[in-house]
Amino acid sequence: MTDDAKSPVCALRIMLVEDSTVLASHVTELIDKMPDMELTGIADNQKDAIKMLADTLPQVLILDLHLREGNGFGVLRGMARVDPPPKVVVLTTFGLPEYRRQAEKLGVSAFLDKSSDYHLLPGLLAAMAKSLSSPATQQ
């Protein structure tokens, strides 16, 4: 029996909600370069994001707060219908303390500022992949 047969590798399913096509492209390239990661979809507005969440059931959601229509807080509230809910990484240009507090109240796993924290995203995704694939998290 090969190692692959003993421990099948499942890609971490990630969805991106981002209205900047430039940043969406950068995040897509980042995810494509990381092992065992799969981008399930990209939405640029609240309505499409909520629908896509229910359709694709990602394990991780990378979420901008300011969108073309609606906002990231509306997406967080709309996730109530998604079971199981994904872990959420807020990635925003608006790293205001009140936004951070509101996001934390809504259960986000991480809150990153695009300008100063983007470099933390790969390590954070790798850690999430590891924690979601560990036997203790699988029920």
Per-residue pLDDT of the chain (139 residues; tens, 9 = 90+): 344 444 445 789 999 999 999 999 999 999 999 999 999 999 999 999 999 999 999 999 999 999 999 999 999 999 987 889 999 999 999 889 999 999 999 999 999 999 999 999 999 999 999 988 765 544 4
Q: What are phi and psi of 112, to 5 degrees?
A: -115, 140
Closest CA to 59 of 3, 10, 8: 10
Domain 10-127: state its class: alpha beta
Task: Report yes or no: 61 and 87 within 8 Å, Cβ to Cβ.
Answer: yes
C-alpha–C-alpha distance, residues 97 and 103, integer Å: 10
C-alpha–C-alpha distance, residues 10 and 107, integer Å: 25
pLDDT at 3: 44
pLDDT at 85: 93
pLDDT at 134: 67
Closest CA to 111 of 88, 90, 87: 90
Pairing of strands 87-92, 12-17: unpaired
pLDDT at 132: 80
Q: SS3 for 20?
A: coil
